[in-house]
Amino acid sequence: MENKPKKPTPSIKQNLGRHQDQVARRGNFDEVAMGFGLEEAVTEAARCLGCKTKPCELACPVNVKIPEFVDLVHKEDLGAAASKIFETSLFPAICGRVCPQETYCEFACVLKDKFGPVSVGRLERFTADYARKNGLIKPPACAPDTGKKVACVGSGPTSLAVAAELRKLGHAVTVFEALHEFGGVLSYGIPTFRLPREVVRFEVDMLRKMGVRLLKNVMVGKSISIEELKKDFDVVYIGSGAGLPTPMHTPGEDLVGVYSSNEFLTRVNLMGAHNFPETDTPYYIGKKVVVVGGGNTAMDSARCAMRLKPDSVTLLYRRTRAEMPARAEEVENAMEEGIKFEFLTAPVELVGDERGRLKRVKCIRMELGAPDASGRRKPMPQGGSDFFIEADSLVVAIGSSPNPVIQQSTPGLATNKWGGIIVEEATAKTSLDGIYAGGDVVRGGATVLLAMKDGKAAAKAIHEKLSAKGN
Amino acid sequence: MNHDIYSTEGLYKIVEKTELSDTISKHVIYAPLIAAKAKAGHFVILRSREGGERIPVTLVDWSPERGTVTVIIQAIGKSTTEMNALKQGDSFLDVAGPLGTPVEIKKWGTVLGVGGGVGIAELYPIARAYKDAGNKVVSILGARNRGLLILEKEMAELGEVIVTTDDGSAGKKGLVTDAMADLYAAGRGPDAIFTIGPIPMMKFVALASLPHKTPTFASLNPVMLDGTGMCGGCRVEIGGKPKFACVDGPMFDAHLTNFDALMKRTAAYREQEKESLERYAKDHQCRIGLH
């Protein structure tokens, strides 16, 4: 780039990235955030002070070497920048898109208050995309084979992180996935307009190139037990996720048109139902869609529904915008796309017709009382505030809990009262010897980045175990 | 022969295919991990190609020695029609399993199997497992007509078989519940009943056995998506409580099952299914016309 700004020039306005037009994008599943061009990236990289104390790197769940890679972006050496990120994370195109950077690196950036932070997430995404599109990515070298065998259960972010780390150290890794696509929540959950599938496939494929064996269509706990796997592998890592949907326990939840967010998102994201009848899996949303919940999954569900072109999508949340667990950016995106938000509102009954199809949702208004266990003000129903919303379909997106199948089928595996697997925090060890666990099956529904962080910590502990004498 | 259950070599290949009727085919598929772990009552989820639906089908047979599993598919919609168009030597794109909870096999005494249509295929391994466990097996097999009656010979090897058809072209003209009534009237009521077939049939089998308090189990077939307990689409109401057919079932206490709710939920995509099949049929004829 000619006349590029000298580094550091923190006073350059922070580049928050461009978005696909808010009306046009309602009609497609293409990515909403458009990503930097080279010039934008180099200019944004010039803002970085390159702090010796690296507050951003320390705040990163997977400790990406941020000041160093940003410097390489400024030098326009994108292959080296990608390799620098690869030293601690093999999934920059995924993380650059789905990590809530505003709570990690960008929150820690010393420029935050005066100028706005360096757009680290957008730079990470740019680096990964540029390197991928220009063939600059080389799979990292792996240590000589150790002869040790590790099974990873599930192919979501936590298992991918474990597989990457342990394969680099020379262990033989096999990943078991129950579905027909790898990536776990990255494939069935997160919509393509936030995370294009070619990105997931490329980063999963890198593991394959490193020699990781990836097996689809095997549901550990049903197809084969943990005890059976333990006979064939030295260590088993359980990263089976939080795939159990939480029902509302509201009358009428069995009506046709009522979906868990898992089912609705899986139909669209994994099965491509939005392309029916070109693809074979159908969906049914009718003209009026209601989504219940205030987290990222609720935003994903509402935004997916909007792209299926109904007359309206209404989101019900029992608290106010301030208490919403969803990323602020996702709430803004959803509002821009024309989703109607009904705050302080909860469904109390779903009413159907004689064919058993949803027709109306009976709601009540709430008010906020004293703070509850979560520290947020508890919503209290307002007496006599009942009203009805017309609805042909409703998506329940009020959370999910750990997938229970492995816990139920593995005697002696200790779990907590929410069904999560209990682990020793620093090592990810479960109550059973040689069995480790991490990600959402331990935490309940958390984030992709925390799942990856768990995976990295577990890989370290597993490597120590496998390298110990007598093993 | 020793099969590496973790190998992907030759996976999901149709090593043997037999047409049982115009619309019903038997596929023997290479899937050594599933073959090694399968039990009566397990099912698999099949996909024939990219963009294809996930179709759950109960296992009819399996051979750990050959590394194969056997399924019987009736072409009803587009996906099953496409699957039955696959030839010996072709491969399925995906076969996931074994899934579900296997049937508890114990000694009841006399076990009555009531199968309807292609449900007879799913009844067969369960009847065989009960026979192997020392039970006396009696079967009532119902079909619309002789052409749609399958596995009569195999079921006869396990014990007495009573056939009923809607048109009387095989066995007795009438319903499976008529034959059940005859058994009870003759003082030959069984100790347990297993039924697999169309939902209305299973509902009436449950109603027929209820006054006699015969333990009765039905294999439920709700709309299923992932089959791994993740989406809740296959939820069924058992004793007033929601259960997931994919992981808790598909076999449940028929006297506790809300069949009416199940029937409404299975009709959820009827219009889309019809649209898809009609489109497929039209496309197919056009192509045939070009040759």
Q: All domains of chain A, ordered by start, with CATH?
A: 24-133 (1.10.1060.10), 149-243+401-467 (3.50.50.60), 247-398 (3.50.50.60)
Residue A402 phi/psi, 5° resolution?
-55, 135
pTM of the model: 0.94
Question: Residue A305 is encoded by which pair of tokens?
Answer: 């529904």
Q: Check A278 against B269: CB less than 8 A apart.
A: no
Question: Residue A109 is encoded by which pair of tokens?
Answer: 């950036």
Q: What's residue A470's pLDDT?
A: 65
Q: Check A254 against B229: CB less than 8 A apart.
A: no
Chain A residue at shortest CA distance from B6: A215
Q: Which residues of B touch A398 (CB under 8 A)?
A: none
Measured distance CA(A403)–CA(A442) in Å, rounded: 10
Half-sphere CA count of A329, side-chain side, radius 13 A = 14
Residue A277: is the preceding peptide bond cis (ω within 30°)?
yes
Q: Which residue in the set B52, B247, B261 is minimally distant from A405, CB to CB? A: B247
Asked if domains B14-99 and B110-266 share a fold, the reply is no
Q: Check B233 against A259: CB less than 8 A apart.
A: yes
Q: Which residue in the set A232, A244, A272 is minimally distant from B229, CB to CB? A: A244
Domain limits, chain B: 14-99, 110-266
3-state secondary structure of A24: helix
Sheet holding B43-47, edge to edge: B55-58, B43-47, B94-99
Spans in chain A with pLDDT lower than 50: none
Measured distance CA(A228)–CA(B260) in Å, rounded: 40
Measured distance CA(B183)–CA(B172) in Å, rounded: 14
Q: Which residues of B touch A286 (CB under 8 A)?
A: none
Work out the angle at residue B244's Cα, subtended by the Cα atoms of residues B243 and B249, and round it to the nearest 5 degrees.
Answer: 95
Residue with tokens 């005066």: A114
Q: Which residues of A touch B79 (CB under 8 A)?
A: 280
Measured distance CA(A237)–CA(A226) in Å, rounded: 10
Q: Check B37 against A223: CB less than 8 A apart.
A: yes
Q: Which residue in the set A216, A263, A355 is minimally distant from B225, CB to CB? A: A263
- Provide the 10 A C-beta neighbour count for residue B4: 10
Question: Residue A63 is encoded by which pair of tokens?
Answer: 């400790």
Measured distance CA(A83)–CA(B158) in Å, rounded: 65
The class level of CATH for B14-99 reads mainly beta
Q: Check A266 against B230: CB less than 8 A apart.
A: yes
Q: Check A277 against B272: CB less than 8 A apart.
A: yes
Chain B residue at shortest CA distance from A271: B51
CB–CB of A327/A295 below 8 Å? Answer: no
How close, in Å, is residue A220 to chain B by CA atoms?
Answer: 9
Question: Residue A60 is encoded by which pair of tokens?
Answer: 């990163």
Q: Check B265 against A254: CB less than 8 A apart.
A: yes
Q: Check A403 against B93: CB less than 8 A apart.
A: no
Q: Which residue in the set A174, A243, A276 is minimally distant from B272, CB to CB? A: A276
Q: Check A219 against B269: CB less than 8 A apart.
A: no
Residue B211 touches partner A, C-beta closer than 8 Å = no
CATH number assigned to the domain with residue range B110-266, chosen from the 4 options 2.60.40.420, 3.40.50.80, 3.20.20.70, 3.30.360.10: 3.40.50.80
CA dist A48 to A44, A93, A266, A412, Å?
8, 21, 40, 51
Q: What's residue B5's pLDDT?
A: 92
Interface pTM (ipTM) of the complex?
A: 0.91
Residue B277 touches partner A, C-beta closer than 8 Å = no
Closest CA to A277 of B74, B55, B51: B51
Q: Which residues of B touch A224 (CB under 8 A)?
A: 5, 33, 37
pLDDT in tens, B233-272: 999 999 999 999 999 999 999 999 999 999 998 888 888 8
Q: Check A243 against B230: CB less than 8 A apart.
A: yes
Residues in chain B, how many?
291
Residue B3 touches partner A, C-beta closer than 8 Å = no
Q: Check B232 against A405: CB less than 8 A apart.
A: no
Q: Which residues of A touch B267 (CB under 8 A)?
A: 256, 355-356
Residue B49 touches partner A, C-beta closer than 8 Å = no
CB–CB of A157/A129 below 8 Å? Answer: no
Q: Which residues of B touch A270 (CB under 8 A)?
A: 226
Instruction: Give the type of residue at A77.
Output: D
Q: Check A277 against B275: CB less than 8 A apart.
A: yes
Choosing among A152, A155, A218, A219, which should be mutated to test the B contact, i.e. which has the most B CBs within 10 A? A219
How close, in Å, is residue B264 to chain A by CA atoms?
Answer: 6
Q: Which residues of A touch B225 (CB under 8 A)?
A: 263, 266-267, 271, 281
Choosing among A182, A185, A280, A285, which should be mutated to test the B contact, i.e. which has the most B CBs within 10 A? A280
Chain B residue at shortest CA distance from A174: B6
3-state helix, strand, coil in chain B (%, to 5): 35, 30, 40
Q: Check B229 against A266: CB less than 8 A apart.
A: no
- Provide the 10 A C-beta neighbour count for residue A412: 11
Closest CA to A205 of A94, A46, A360, A72: A94
Measured distance CA(B221)–CA(B226) in Å, rounded: 14
Question: Residue B157 is encoded by which pair of tokens?
Answer: 């090897």
Q: Check A244 against B230: CB less than 8 A apart.
A: yes
Q: Which residue in the set A270, A278, A284 is minimally distant from B268, CB to CB? A: A284
Q: What's residue B1's pLDDT?
A: 58
Q: What's residue A244's pLDDT?
A: 92
Question: Residue A270 is encoded by which pair of tokens?
Answer: 């994994």
CB burial readout A341-375, b (16+ within 10 A) else e: bbbbbbbeebebeeebbbbbbbbbbbebeeeeeee
Chain A residue at shortest CA distance from B229: A244
Tens place of pLDDT for every residue, chain B, 291 residues?
578 999 999 999 999 999 998 899 999 999 999 999 999 999 999 999 999 999 999 999 999 999 999 999 999 889 999 999 999 999 999 999 999 999 999 999 999 999 999 899 999 999 999 999 999 999 999 999 998 899 999 999 999 999 999 999 999 999 999 999 999 999 999 999 999 999 999 999 999 999 999 999 999 999 999 999 999 999 999 999 999 999 999 999 999 999 999 999 888 888 888 888 888 888 776 444 343
